[in-house]
Amino acid sequence: MLKTFKYRVYPTKRQERVLTEQLEECRWLWNTLLAERKTAWEERQEAIDYYDQKAELPGLKADARPGLKQVHSQVAQEVVLRLKKAMEAFFRRLKAGENPGYPRFRGKGRYDSLTYPQWENGVKLSVSGKRLTLSKVGDVKLIYHRPLEGTPKTATIRRTATGKWFVTIACEWEPTPLPPTGKPVGIDVGLKTFATMSDGQEIANPRFFRSEETELAKAQRK
């Protein structure tokens, strides 16, 4: 199974500028490929598949969009894969008679994540855990507040609405079963206390909304 680990990263101003430029290149790629699919279907009832669009990437980098060269090749390919999955979800909802929600074009600043689909291909963690090395960006400061477990598989760099940066690393992980105690425990979920066990143990309410309320207010003002 996959287990994810999220860490705060602190790029320098130069690194943040490079990351922002990479996000904009990926946004352009998403919009261009979505427009291509939309036009092909509306004008010719023709479907363009993932492999067709993936094969276009070298030509786009060479001619139409040289800035794409600043994006790691697998990150660019993952944009094509995202669009493929979005289109598949659209047709699945359409077939089920649901509101299909056609994939949307992204406005400036509205593409907020870069995914490296293969660990140590464009992304890796330093031995100390204090730096995350990103292709064409460099070594980015990272707050390694808990160790990774399992085998790292993918990494996603994300920019929040308030301008903070995080990395989420997905690891292949096999949980270790806890030994049975032979003692049943009842759980009472409440408001002041998140949960109270029948053995008297209490789990405090994490109050997720309160901790994120300020960040949410900032994002809503944008």
**In the chain, what are the domain boundaries?**
1-176, 187-220
Q: How do the pLDDT tens digits run along the chain, 222 residues long? A: 999 999 999 999 999 999 999 999 999 999 999 999 999 988 998 889 999 999 999 999 999 999 999 999 999 999 999 999 999 999 899 889 998 888 999 999 999 999 999 999 999 999 999 999 999 999 999 999 999 999 999 999 999 999 999 999 999 999 888 788 777 777 777 766 777 766 777 777 766 556 566 666 666 665
Please check whether residue 171 is in contact with residue 5, taking contact to mean a CB–CB distance below 8 angstroms: yes
Q: How far apart are CA 160 and CA 219, in angstroms?
A: 9
Torsion of CA 189, 192, 194, 197, to 10 degrees: -60
Model pTM score? 0.80
Rounded distance between C-alpha atoms, residue 86 and residue 38, angstroms: 13
> How far apart are alpha carbons 218 and 48 in whole angstroms?
40
* CA-to-CA dists, residue 53 to 33, 40, 63, 101, angstroms: 7, 12, 15, 22
Q: In angstroms, what CA-CA distances link 15 with 21, 129, 166?
A: 10, 18, 14
CA–CA dist 71, 26 (Å, integer): 8
